[in-house]
A = this chain, B = another copy of it.
Amino acid sequence: MATYQATASAPVNIACIKYWGKRNTKLILPTNSSLSVTLDQDHLRSTTSSRADASFEKDRLWLNGKEEEIERDGRLWVCIDALRKWRQEMEQADSGLDKISAYHVHFASHNNFPTAAGLASSASGLAALVASLSHLYSLPQTPSQLSLVARQGSGSACRSLFGGYVAWRMGEKEDGSDSLAEEVASREHWPEMHALICVVSDAKKGTSSTSGMQRTVQTSPLLQHRIKEVVPGRMDDISKAIREKDFESFAKITMRDSNSFHAVCLDTEPPIFYLNDVSRSVIAVVEELNRAAGKPIAAYTFDAGPNAVIYTLEENMPKVLNLINRFFPQEASFANPFKMDWQSAQVPEGFNTKVVPEGGWEKGAVKSLIHTRVGDGPRKLDDGESLLNEDGMPKTLN
């Protein structure tokens, strides 16, 4: 008897033009387009295995070994249902195909980074699930078509279906059929883009992005201006910067848009704060590095939390590592996956160390650093890497 299963991994993406606000919360249609850089799965990834079997009694999902309910009409269910319908259509058109759309499916999913890292795992997780199930069903749909499905699972997941530099076009249609992700440029076009994630300690639990963004939509007068007048131009400008590999423009727009996003959070009622004093200090260091360098050579960006992501070209990463390690000592020593000699990196002359508190921050204000770079899109993995055992139940991971 045949075994129907597939395994795929998908990457994390970090937006340069931020998604904040839905015009349709059910279909997850955004109030503005957004653009992200896909990060390398060699460092950060979600992996999902899916298996269809006549013996399964219902669809089931295990996330990091723990079962999660697949609620009917919930976001996960909507994604699975959409892909299953595409499989059904194929089976109806070609009677030679196995009728596996009638079977229930088991999913096992795993993130190789701790949830505590504060990275949005829902985007990579949903993208891995969609990629894995589309392989199981041998679907002919393009990544952009699959992104329509992933979007309904978790908005920014749609961007994790591509590698490189990815735009999520907000679209205009009411049914959401044109609200999808597209590649702006491949990883190979500009492979020198590196990223340093600074995991910032925060005592306080922040506002969830799902509830926060809708509060902003409802109460912030400034958001309306951001949506209509600010973001469209930035989408064009940063796409051009990426095509021309113009890091200065890329950096300026990225920092501007991060600040604009946090500005509309502050303009929300009650105000939403994601940046804390450590985040502000990372901003101060990057701004001062750029000032001393005479041009932007690094760009910070912050999602719905205090963690900083610093984009910089490979050649300048040692400078960034030097400064961040100097002012923000971590508990554990930095892993340094690219074996960079950051200790002896030359920081631009005239860098004013007074931008950070004297003596730097106390150990652990930045908990850890993750150094990665631009990466590829979802990967199909061998059966040997399946997260499901022979019975279609989750393997125990060590």
Contacts and interface: CB of A to CB of B under 8 A. Distances in A.
A276 B280 CA distance: 9
Interface stretch (A10-18, A137-145, A256-264, A343-351): A256-264
B263 A273 contact: no
Contact of A225 (B222, B262, B269, B357): B222
A270 B357 CA distance: 19
Interface residues of A, number: 30
Given A221-B230, A229-B225, A271-B283, A266 B259 contact: yes
Given A222-B225, A229-B221, A277-B277, A259 B283 contact: no
A247 B222 CA distance: 24
Interface in A230-266: 230, 252, 255-256, 259-260, 262-264, 266
Interface string A260-293: 1011101111110100110010010001000000
Contact of A221 (B260, B267, B269): B260
Interface of A: 203-204, 221-222, 224-226, 229-230, 252, 255-256, 259-260, 262-264, 266-271, 273, 276-277, 280, 283, 287, 357
26 contacts: A221-B225, A221-B226, A221-B229, A221-B230, A221-B260, A222-B222, A222-B225, A222-B264, A225-B229, A252-B269, A255-B269, A255-B270, A259-B266, A259-B267, A259-B268, A259-B269, A260-B267, A262-B266, A263-B264, A263-B266, A263-B267, A266-B266, A270-B283, A271-B283, A276-B277, A277-B277
